[in-house]
Amino acid sequence: MKVGALKLKLQLACGDAYALGPGKADLLDAIGRDGSISAAGRTLGMSYRRAWLLVDEMNRCFAAPLVETLRGGGRERGARLTAAGTDMLAAYRELEAAMADVADHPAYRRLAAALRDTPADPS
């Protein structure tokens, strides 16, 4: 049986913005791991400004901020996920895993069986 590629992209809308999607989830993971927005941006190959704008958009879209910045002359500097950020990231990853089960659905197999390997030449 021929199987076509299935590409699902989970995005949560907030008005005209996207509150959370694959790139923002990866950014949250990187902030959690790297401890700063700038380091997370570097890890993902984006500028600090782009990473900061994405964090700002996420924080404005959810009832509670997902990322908090740590300022001051003390030891804690950088950024970290809030409890809400950790929870929303986990929920997003759970939905991504559930979406992977779609590839086992009979409707997907019907669609994939009808797909060409490449688009037909225009007539």
- Per the structure, how many domains does the chain have? 1
2 in a structural domain? no
CATH number at residue 67: 1.10.10.10
4 in a structural domain? no
Q: What is the pLDDT of residue 36?
A: 95
Q: What is the pLDDT of residue 105?
A: 86
The answer to whether the pTM exceeds 0.85 is: no
Amino acid at 9: K
E strands present in 25-112? 67-70, 78-81
How many C-beta atoms lie closer than 10 Å to residue 84's C-beta? 16
Amino acid at 76: E
Q: What is the pLDDT of residue 74?
A: 58
30 in a structural domain? yes
In order along the chain (123 residues), what is the average pLDDT of each group of 10 residues? 67 96 98 96 97 98 96 75 98 91 84 86 88
Q: What is the pLDDT of residue 117?
A: 82
Report the half-sphere exposure of 28 (CA within 13 A, side-chain side).
27
75 in a structural domain? yes
E strands present in 21-122? 67-70, 78-81
5 in a structural domain? no
- 34 burial via Cβ count (<10 Å: 0-12, 13-18, 19+): middle
Where in the sequence is the domain holding 24, given as residue range(s)?
A: 12-111
